[in-house]
Amino acid sequence: MAGMSLQGFLFTWLLVGVLERPANEAGLARSLAEFPPLLVLFLGGLLGDRLNGRTYLASMHVLMTLPPLLIAAVYRADLLGYWWVVLFGVLMASVQALADPARQSMLSRVTRLDTQRAVTIMTIFTSLVGLGGFYLGGQLDSLGLETILVLQATFFFLGLFAVLQLPSMPMAAGAIGRPGLSSGFRALWHSPLVRNVIGLNFLSSLFNAGAYIVAIPYIVKEVYGGDAAFFAKVMIIFTTGSVGSNLLLLTFMPLKWPGRLFLFMQLTRVVILLLLFTRPALWLFYAAIFSWGLNMGVTTTMVRTTVQELADSRHRAQILSILLVSFMVSAPISSILLGFLIEWTSPLSALLPGIGVSFVIFVVGISRSGLWQYESTAPHRAPNSR
């Protein structure tokens, strides 16, 4: 996660800060980089259900070391350009798409906690490590791009040693069933609540997560006149909010009504985006970014825990791959739409669609999704327990 957090920083800042491409070109680059891995995600889910998890994930860590070293060599040869950055994004997103379903599904097999707390604790630790990745990205101007890329490859390689400490994880009993990519979709179709959660998450990611990914770099650069260090600071503040939300959630977990919390957070996001749209003073901008991180941390965790809790164990990796697709497919679509919106108007205008979408999610979520009525199957704490 240190390496992938650094990847998120590098890909964006190489386009915006180093190559200084306009918003529509940066949005197109993100779309080009993230569309190919979408199909790879389904393959990752299938392989995660069919292969030994430890061996498979170890091989993915080795593959992850290669793209940063390639781009470091390209930069050293003074050949770095727009299409090399796009290729960098495609390669990294593809390997991540192969690895993520297996990594996330393995959590349910090794944890001794309920699903809600297991997912939350993993999110906290990986987000804290991700802060280090953002901080390192902020040192780009002083350390140099080549050094940063070599360190990124080193992070992935070091992760290999943690993977090798996991127990052997052969295919789950009964996972073969009807082989093929369609088996996960069939399992999802027979789980209406999981299907609705993933659908609402897609809407949320389309213009809320998309606004953070696309609009914030340009708000930093064009509205507040920031550099790479400023951008890194904003990402650190956002991630700190996300970590803080998960620490807070952990004290109350297991939650009895996680769906209601997810829906309530849609309304609070409306307020946060409206505040950011007003171009507040710097201290208030930081506070809003922190609050946005809190908000997104809660909603993301609620979605992941609900899907992980309800997914059929025989198809868990494949269903999680579909959830990940709902995150990833929204990014290239919103990158194109919001990129052109920014180019035609201003970076702040890219925040407006998320306001309407958040309200729609709240209304539809209460009336049609079943989330408001969903009661978690995790054992709940007694009212006086700690």
In sequence order, what are the residues at sequence separation of 6 or more whose Cβ sits closer than 8 angstroms to the Cβ of residue 356?
none
Q: Please report whether residue 377 resides in a domain.
A: no
Q: Please report whether residue 147 resides in a domain.
A: yes
Q: Please report whether residue 379 resides in a domain.
A: no
pLDDT by residue, tens only, the chain of 386 residues: 888 888 888 888 888 878 888 877 877 887 777 777 777 777 777 777 777 878 888 999 999 999 999 999 999 998 988 999 999 988 998 888 888 877 877 777 787 777 778 878 887 888 788 778 878 887 888 888 899 999 999 999 998 998 888 887 776 555 554 445 566 667 667 677 787 888 888 888 777 777 777 788 888 888 888 887 888 888 889 988 988 888 888 888 788 888 888 889 989 999 999 999 999 989 999 999 999 999 988 888 888 888 877 766 666 767 777 777 777 677 667 777 887 888 788 888 888 888 888 888 899 888 877 788 887 766 555 444 44
Peptide bond preceding 254: is omega within 30 degrees of 0, i.e. cis?
A: yes
SS (H, E, C) 55-123: HHHHHHHHHHCHHHHHHHHHHHCCCCCHHHHHHHHHHHHHHHHHHHHHHHHHHHHHCCCCHHHHHHHHH
Q: Please report whether residue 381 resides in a domain.
A: no
Which CATH number is 144's domain given? 1.20.1250.20
Nearest-5° Cα angle at 376, 365 to 311: 85
Q: Please report whether residue 278 resides in a domain.
A: yes
Q: Please report whether residue 42 resides in a domain.
A: yes
For 99, 107, 206, 282, 358, the CA distances from 351, given in Å and listed in that order, are 31, 34, 12, 17, 11
Q: Please report whether residue 255 resides in a domain.
A: yes
> What is the tally of structural domains in the chain?
1
Q: Please report whether residue 206 resides in a domain.
A: yes
Q: Rounded to an integer, what distance in angstroms lies between the CA atom of residue 265 and that of residue 270? A: 9
Candidates 306, 209, 326, 204; CA nearest to 259 is 306
Domain span at residue 10 reads: 2-170+179-369
